[in-house]
Amino acid sequence: MTDPIGIDGSLLEGGGQILRIALTLSCIKKIPIRIYNIRAGRGKPGLMEQHLKGVELLRDICDAQVKGATIGSTEITFCPAEIRGGTYNAFIKTAGSISLLLQVALPCCIFAKSDVILKLRGGTNAEMAPQVDYMTEVFRPVLEKFGATFDFDLVRRGYFPKGGGEVIVTIQPVKELHGIKLLNQGKVMSIQGWSFVAGVIPAFIADKIAAGAKKTLSQVCRNVHIESYKEDKDIAPDNASGIILQATTDTGCILGASALGKRTENAEVTGERAGEILLKSVYEGACVDEHCQDQIIVFMALAVGPSSVRVGEITLHTKTAIFVVELLCKVEFNIEALEEGGNIIHCTGQ
C-alpha cells in the first residue's frame, strides 16, 4: 500500500470541510490519506460526533481501514477499498447536520457498484449548514446538470438542540458525470419559497416570515410565491421556524437562500434576511449561489470534460474545496475575475 497523502486540516477554512472533501475524494480515487490538525481553526478542535459519523459512514461505504476515528481526535488515517452499493446508516445523536452527512457521502454513492440507500439521522434544519430543503430544492437541480440525482424521503424533522430528524436518500450510480457551462444568469422568472413553523410556534409566524421575504424580493421579481405552513406534529414535534427560497432564471440557473427564525428576531426580519441573501446572488450575476458554489467544486473535478461556472465573490469554503481537490485529483482550477464584478470558476475536468 502506498503511503497516505498528508493533509493539514488547519489550512484555509480550518474546519470540517477539509475533512469532508478529503474523505470523499479519497474514497472515489482510492487514495490513502492522513488528515492532521483536524478542525484546528475551531474553538473545540478535533472530531465532533457529526464529523465522526461522516468518517464512519464513508468507512462502511468503501470498506476502508481507518485509524484515529474517535471523538476529539485531531488526526485520522483513511485507506479506502471499493465503493459498494447497499444500505448504510449514520445516526447523529445531536442536531448535527444531516445535509453535511449527505455532502460527504453523495459523490461517493454516485460512483458505487450498485444502488445505495442512506438512512441518516440528526438535524434537518440547523444553523451553519444547508437546510435539507435547500439540498432538494436548490442543490439537486444543479447536480442534475452534471448528470446525477438522488431521491429523498423526509421521515421526520430534527431541530436544534435535540435533533432526531431522519431522512432516507436513494442514489442510482452513473458511469460518469459531464462538465457544465453556466455563464449567463439571465432574468429571474420566478421565485418559490417555503415558510414554516413547528411545535408550539403559531402558524401566523410563517405568514410574517413569508411577508418579509416577499417585500424584499419584489425588487427583482413580480412572480414570487411563498407557501406558508405549520409542520405536522408527527413530522416536526419540536419548536422551529424558517424559510427556504428558490429562484429560477430564463437560462436555467437555480439560486437559493434560507434563514432560520430566532427568538430575539421579528419574524418579518427572518424573511428579509433570506431575501437579501438571494438578492446578493442575483445582483452579482451568479449562476449558482454562494452556498452551492463550494459544493459543486468536487463535481466539476470529477466530471468528464471542462466546466465553467459564473459565481459572485469566491468564498473561503470554495478556496478550501479547490485546494483539497487539486491536491488529490489531476485537475486544475482557474478563477477569472470579471470587470463587471463576480468571477468565473474554470475547471479542466477529468
Name the band, by pLDDT with cuts 50, 70 and 90, for residue 322: very high
What average pLDDT score do residues 69-77 get?
Answer: 97
Calculate the average pLDDT of the chain.
Answer: 96
Give the residue from 41, 63, 82 where a domain finishes: 82
Structural domain that includes position 339? 179-183+287-350
Q: Is 317 a catalytic residue?
A: yes
Name the band, by pLDDT with cuts 50, 70 and 90, for residue 197: very high
> In this model, does residue 43 exceed pLDDT 80?
yes
What average pLDDT score do residues 116-122 get?
Answer: 98
CATH code for position 56: 3.30.110
Q: Which three cell numbers stand for residue 215?
A: 417585500
170 and 101 within one domain: yes
Dihedral sign computed on CA atoms, order 55, 61, 67, 71:
positive
Give the residue from 283, 310, 325 where a domain finishes: 283
Q: How far is CA 84 from the centre of its chain?
A: 23
159 and 94 within one domain: yes
276 and 191 within one domain: yes
Give the residue from 46, 61, 82 where a domain finishes: 82
- Dist. CA 306–CA 130, nearest whole Å: 27
- Dist. CA 67–CA 77, nearest whole Å: 5
314 and 247 within one domain: no
The whole-model pTM stands at 0.95
* pLDDT computed for residue 350 by the predictor: 87
- Dist. CA 131–CA 146, nearest whole Å: 22
* pLDDT computed for residue 107 by the predictor: 98
Question: 51, 291, 317, 346: which one is catalytic?
Answer: 317
99 and 39 within one domain: no
β-pairing, 307-311 vs 333-337, is: unpaired
CATH code for position 279: 3.30.360.20
C-beta of residue 157 within 8 angstroms of C-beta of residue 125: yes
Q: Which of 27, 35, 21, 94 is nearest to 69 (CA)?
A: 35
Number of structural domains (the chain) is: 4
76 and 37 within one domain: yes
258 and 300 within one domain: no
Which residues does 38 contact at the CB level (< 8 Å), separation at least 6? 9, 19, 45, 46, 47, 51, 73, 74, 75, 76
What average pLDDT score do residues 304-326 get?
Answer: 97
